Amino acid sequence: MSGSDSLVLMSRPSAHVLEVTMNRPEKLNALDAGLRAGLRDAVRVAREDKDVRVVVLSGAGRAFCVGADVGRESDYGTRTPEDDRRHILDDSIELCLDVWRLPVPVIAKISGYCLGLATILANCCDIVICDEEATVGWPVLPLGGGLISPTWIWHVGIHRAKEMSYQVGSKMTGRKAAECGFANHAVPAARLHSFTGEMAANIARISRDLLTLKKDALNQVHGRLGFEDAVRAGAAWDALAHTTQAAAEVRVQREREGLAATIAAWRSTSEPVDSTRTVP
């Protein structure tokens, strides 16, 4: 097991099962460069360690993950559109697709918040199990667009994906996430750990080579339908969305007042935002 001060913890809760825990609880496991690097290392371990047959992905503290770190100290919004597109693709999308391509099943164990980019990560897992009262949804600020919703279409359908995308801060409970197809199961919080552990152990009874074959068969069909292309295409749409006036105004407010105050201000008003112009 990795040290408790690591941004990603790895443990072996049962035979052939690797649990990977995002460990940045003070930031609700928001994805910064360090946490992304730790997840890449964990993916490499799962890929190379032939004893691993199942991966369980979880988050420490009050959240699975609240998505990308867009706090005042982050470098969000500082790049040209093309550099931004490449950064989103290399740092975020390919990380999610690395999870998708792992040769073993990955179970997302979601408690607390699962927002924004974290929902793409969950959608790239093989199985999603939620606490019934988990909060699953969109970012609470209008900072981007076109990145998250394409991955939701495959699981919940285009109408619900649009409904979630068009309303800033859209959210649903874990129970609702299971009902609409985002998650496989929603269970009481007290049962989440044991339920997920039992499923992982049951899957791990099968040899790694057979599990890899089963996953490849399913992923190849899903890939032919365009899943990976849709996930990658979101990087360009999101980079373009970052140039809109709405996103620029939020960034200015964040720099001036901090992220928490900006979120509070957005939640306290119902005034429309003019996002029809682009930043020069």
Question: For position 278, what pLDDT does the model report?
Answer: 42
Kindly tell me if the per-residue pLDDT of 4 is higher than 70: no
Distance CA 70, CA 147 (A): 15
Kindly tell me if the per-residue pLDDT of 182 is higher than 80: yes
Q: Write the CB contacts of 91 (distance below 8 Å, at least 6 apart in sequence).
A: 33, 36
Question: For position 80, what pLDDT does the model report?
Answer: 82
38-82: per-residue pLDDT in tens?
999 999 999 999 999 999 999 999 999 999 988 656 566 667 888
231-275: per-residue pLDDT in tens?
998 888 888 888 888 888 888 888 888 888 888 887 776 665 544
Kindly tell me if the per-residue pLDDT of 27 is higher than 70: yes
Q: Stretch 114-130: mean pLDDT, rounded?
A: 97
Q: Does the global pTM surpass 0.75? A: yes
Kindly tell me if the per-residue pLDDT of 203 is higher than 90: yes
Mean pLDDT of the chain: 90
Q: Which helix H or strand E contains 40, and what residues bound it?
A: helix 33-48
What's the gap between Cα 221 and its chain centre? 22
- In this structure, are residues 20 and 55 in contact, taking their beta carbons and an 8 Å threshold? yes
> In terms of pLDDT, which residue wins out, 113 or 256?
113
SS3 for 110?
strand
Phi, psi of 259 (to 5 degrees): -70, -45
> In terms of pLDDT, which residue wins out, 142 or 196?
196
Amino acid at 247: A
Distance CA 109, CA 59 (A): 8
Question: For position 24, what pLDDT does the model report?
Answer: 97
Q: How many CB atoms are closer than 10 A to CB 224?
A: 9
Q: Which helix H or strand E contains 209, and what residues bound it?
A: helix 208-224
Q: Which helix H or strand E contains 100, and what residues bound it?
A: helix 94-101
Question: For position 3, what pLDDT does the model report?
Answer: 52
